[in-house]
Structure 1
Amino acid sequence: MSEHSNNERIADLGFARVDHDREARNGVPEVIFGEGKRVEQISAIVARLRARHQRALVTRLDTERAEHVLRDHPDGQYDPVSRLLRWGEAPERLPGRVAVICAGTSDLPVAEEASQTLEWLGVEVARLNDVGVAGLDRLLAHREAITHADVLIVVAGMEGALPSVVTGLVRSPVLAVPTSVGYGASLQGVTALLGMLSACATGMSVVNIDNGFGAAWQAASILGLVARGVHPAPADFRSNTDIPDS
């Protein structure tokens, strides 16, 4: 690769414009959404990201296409449960720990997407699986681990009740992830989503259906704020749109 391409902020591949500047803005290189992309497209983007940032992450990638990409980049790690394909590690570890709490075994693909994304982002993860509200004793058996987590990601389908229960037990931020797991009236996760959005428990936020990646990113952002500290506020802040009194 030429010196010029190593310095470019955006690499134009024709079918994609790789945003190399994103790491400077957000602290993390661009992540590849695998669905809908051909294997040769994914492989070309991965090559650019690894050459520039020494790491890459592909989400929502099925096993067959992952095997094809690994022929070009054989040192990657693929997990068929989370459908994540990754190379490299975060240059620094973030402080704190995130507990990823999974209601049922059927929710594991989304929970593992969250857990393994967090690990790629440099976050320590504690996994609590199959602790849904159908048997609350399973959840309460881990109460110490739950209450000592700095951020919690709670993944649940069906009626989506588990995040409300967890939020009532902790003082840390809770990120709820509805999944598309359930029978017909669950409406492919819409019922869980609406239940979480309607919860009375305070301190809980909700991401989109099956979006374990989004929850992981938000949790890492929270821990990143702890690592770098808050931005100092100006002594006298006024919006640019403020109009002086006449």
Structure 2
Amino acid sequence: MGRIKKKRAVRDAHRQPGARPVTAPPFSQAEIERVMRLWDRAVDTGLMAGGTDTKYHLGPDGTVLSVALGRNGQVLANGEWLTPSAAERLRTQMPLLAGMVTFYENNQLAGRGLDGAPEDGVMPLQPSGGPDPMPPLDDEALAAAKAATAVLVRQGKVSEPVGAMIIPAQRGGVLFAVGGRDGELYVNGRALTQQWANRLRTTVPDLSSDLDRLQAMRAEWLDSSPEDRTLALAGGCTDPNCHTPH
């Protein structure tokens, strides 16, 4: 608790006279202590140098999201690397702080670290007006992507794509992503190498951020032991504008 009190004291000292204070929601003592133990473990295992430069975001339901930068400059959330799978799990565990999880995930993908993060205790802003209108599916592009994936099925690299992730572009085109039996991530019929990702960006430029997320997911998969990823993408897309046929 000393770290939190110190951070609050510094924050209050820099407020301008007459400024309206930001009221932090109530928080659970047990939850704060749990998160601080996670940071202590991160320090002990060498993920970060110390536990003082952390930010805390408090949910009205008593949940806590705390973030920091690790020794290598990557974002840590509640004491672990903010990988795509960790971000999905955190969004499920603390839905009222899901927007903040996504903020830090997008920052990491863009190489911005903690830049632009709100101060401690500040809740995420309310959505401005709901999701964007659902873009129409480009049936021709989807058929071509499915046909290319069918070749992978015949080759035994991919099971029937029951866990496929389908992301339509606003101006035509689509990303059709499936997990392979060999632990690879295939998009539109090919492994998502850097070269293939760059080619896809030229055809569906408005889906660049989705390609960033898929590339990060592939890198995480390739860093672990190979396993059948057939259903790995099932339920993996939280974007309301994402078509997922599972």
TM-score range, shorter chain: under 0.3
When the two structures are superposed, what TM-score results if normalisation uses the length of structure 1?
Answer: 0.27
When the two structures are superposed, what TM-score results if normalisation uses the length of structure 2?
Answer: 0.27
Higher fraction of strand: 1
